Structure 1
């Protein structure tokens, strides 16, 4: 077993190789790897003696699981009805432009930011809503979204010094 699989092996051992604990196992694995790598999911399936399809099915069914790498900072913009009516599409397009995201791309090449468009953030009264690193920003404008991203970029640069 390579070092890459060691954390997953420990998580499986901590859960007594119990396939009924697949969701908590995947949660811990995602905490460790920051997403669910395909080879790790296959390893889990093999170790739990279940089909890879079952593991992939769970990983793709629940929205909180990620099967692709995510950036250090997660930006969620609501595109539900209330937010859409209040202009969230302009915020989304501005964030995509700011982060230089191409069509189909949701994470920046430097793995600093991931943009997620979500159906509801549960804050319709604050529409449009953006959440960045679990901080809710209500009545967000395209300009304010860029300002928030710029603050994070500046903070990252300062911390790198």
Structure 2
């Protein structure tokens, strides 16, 4: 089977190779609870534009299936939407948010865009890979962790940062959390907190910052600004 995907105005052929855990002989069905969500999602679109729900349904299937999309799940979505399978494949292969191979129950995504790179993103990634003893996009032997890369997640002022997709509770308890102002030491601590079942505080990991404020607190604009001089329009 070949997936056809648009990317920068080029057609890229991606070969799907059957594996023991990803082939057409393994059925995929949405759970009863998730099927109710499918119907809710579809209710937002006219009946002749159901295909517009493809991203939302792929995301739901990925959450249910432990963070990745088998071929059978994509085919099921195509069946629900009443479109050729290729229309679902081309979306799933285009967006990096969709994983077509197994990931860990906690999938770490290191931001690789310029601000994070300048602030040490490669050191963060290296600390994760060395601590977990995996390569990028590999899954740890206990199936708990994997490490990938994603481009800008919009927290440049708090670089470097990672996002962690938590698939431990399925679609019902899925979370996607940002951890910012990281150091190699701190990102390893986050791994171990998750391993112990704890919930690391999300957002900036530098306690001297509040959200995206300066380290140590504000040094300017400590009071209300002086208003501009009043202009007497009647005297003009």
TM-score by length of 2: 0.55
Secondary structure, aligned partner of 1:95: helix
* Higher helix proportion: 1
Secondary structure, aligned partner of 2:196: helix
- Equivalent residue, structure 1, for 2:143: 111
* Higher strand proportion: 2
| Contact kept? 1:95, 1:145, Cα under 8 Å | yes
CA RMSD of aligned residues (A): 3.1
Identify which of structures 1 and 2 has the higher relative contact order when contacts are C-alpha pairs closer than 8 Å and 6+ apart: 1
Q: 1:54 to 1:99 in 2, by over 3 A?
A: same
Q: Number of residue pairs matched?
A: 154
Counterparts of 1:46-65 in structure 2, within 5 Å, are 48-65=81-98
Q: Per-residue deviation at 1:88? A: 1.0
- Equivalent residue, structure 2, for 1:7: 30
Structure label with greater radius of gyration:
2
- Equivalent residue, structure 2, for 1:129: 161
| Contact kept? 1:90, 1:142, Cα under 8 Å | yes
Q: Unpaired runs of 5+ in structure 1?
A: 157-161
- Equivalent residue, structure 2, for 1:159: none
TM-score by length of 1: 0.76
- Equivalent residue, structure 1, for 2:152: 120
Deviations 1:97-156 (A, max 9, x none): 111113x53332322112121221211111111233534332211111111112222237
- Equivalent residue, structure 1, for 2:114: 81
